[in-house]
Structures are given as C-alpha cells and as structure tokens.
C-alpha cells in the first residue's frame, strides 16, 4: 500500500505543478482554458486519492495526528508531495 501511495503522491504532485505552472498561465495569458479543463479533472482525482490513501496508511506508517496533518497539508503546497516522499515514505 505504501508503494501505491508513493505513486499516487508523485502523480498528484506532477499534475498540480502542470496545472499551476502550465495550464493556469496559458489560461490567463492566452485566454485558453482548455488545459485547465484537461488537467483539472485528473489532478482532482489524484488529490482525493492522495488524501484517502494517507488516512488509510496512517496506522501502517505509525503516523500521529500531527504527521498526518503535515502529509495532508503538503498536497496543497507546490512540491509538497515530493517533500513527503523524501521525508516520510523512503
């Protein structure tokens, strides 16, 4: 389960970065929101899966409430999921 969480964490992080640094600038500088629509749905699904899996593996990883909060908070910070992988999952 931990390895699956690591994959989801990576995909969530990549989708978030693409959304923030590629799709949103294209939307606001070119007026083209296709990329936001294209990347928004997968990112939303990865985000929800990330949160659910973090709760599911909390006991397996022996995370206390503070650590779980940090893991969850990292999902809304750019590059946060990569930090979690390095700090808590390896």
Q: DSSP assignment, residue 69?
A: H
Number of C-alpha atoms within 13 angstroms, CB side, residue 49?
Answer: 18
User: What is the per-residue pLDDT for 50?
Assistant: 96
For residue 32, how far is the Cα from the chain centroid? 24
Count of all residues that appear for the chain in the document? 90
Burial class of residue 79 (count of CB atoms within 10 Å of its CB; 0-12, 13-18, 19+): exposed
pLDDT of 90 strictly over 90 = no
pLDDT category at 2 given cuts 50, 70, 90 is confident
pTM value?
A: 0.90
Quick: pLDDT tens for 38-82: 999 999 999 999 999 999 999 999 999 999 999 999 999 999 999
Local structure of 54: helix, strand or coil: helix
Quick: pLDDT tens for 3-15: 999 999 999 999 9
């Amino acid at each position: 389960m931990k390895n699956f969480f690591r994959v989801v964490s990576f995909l969530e992080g990549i989708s978030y970065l693409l959304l923030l640094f590629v799709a949103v600038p294209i939307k606001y500088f070119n007026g083209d929101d296709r990329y936001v629509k294209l990347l928004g749905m997968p990112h939303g699904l990865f985000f929800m899966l990330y949160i659910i899996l973090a709760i599911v593996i909390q006991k397996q990883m022996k995370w206390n409430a503070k650590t779980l909060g940090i893991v969850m908070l990292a999902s809304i910070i750019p590059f946060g999921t990569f930090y979690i992988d390095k700090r808590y999952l390896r």
